[in-house]
């Protein structure tokens, strides 16, 4: 399956993933307020491990692949919106 990796496609996916995060976690902010390179945990959005589970669930449903808790790359994958979107772009089946 061929995937468009143009900057526009990247921007579209970033916006889509930001919307998924805001929706899944019922955050009181506009998805465009999530900085692509800002940390999702601690400073930044301040997410916790329960939030990661919620995000993993909606990502699985939306993009057709599982984010596994035993993946050694989870800290990197969930370190920022940009890293999460890049991982989704490489893994998605939908």
> Which pLDDT value is given to residue 2?
40
User: Helix or strand or coil: residue 80?
Assistant: strand
7-91: CATH homologous superfamily?
Answer: ACP-like (1.10.1200.10)
pLDDT by position in tens, the chain (length 94): 444 445 555 899 999 999 999 999 999 999 999 999 999 987 888 899 899 999 999 999 999 999 888 889 988 999 999 999 999 999 988 7
Domain spans, the chain: 7-91
Q: How distant is the alpha carbon of residue 93 from its chain centre? A: 15
Q: What are residue 39's DSSP bridge partners?
A: 80
Return d(Cα 45, Cα 48) in angstroms, integer: 9
Nearest to residue 63, comparing CAs of 94, 20, 24?
94
Which secondary-structure segment (H or E) carries 89? helix 81-91
Q: What is the pTM of this model?
A: 0.86
């Amino acid at each position: 399956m061929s995937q468009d990796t143009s900057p526009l496609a990247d921007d579209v996916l970033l916006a889509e993933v930001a919307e998924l995060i805001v929706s899944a976690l019922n955050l009181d902010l506009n998805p465009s307020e999530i900085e692509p390179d800002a940390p999702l945990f601690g400073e930044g959005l301040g997410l916790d491990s329960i939030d990661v589970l919620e995000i993993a669930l909606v990502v699985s449903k939306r993009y057709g692949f599982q984010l596994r808790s035993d993946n050694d790359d989870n800290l990197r994958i969930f370190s920022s919106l940009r890293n999460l979107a890049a991982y989704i772009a490489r893994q998605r089946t939908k």
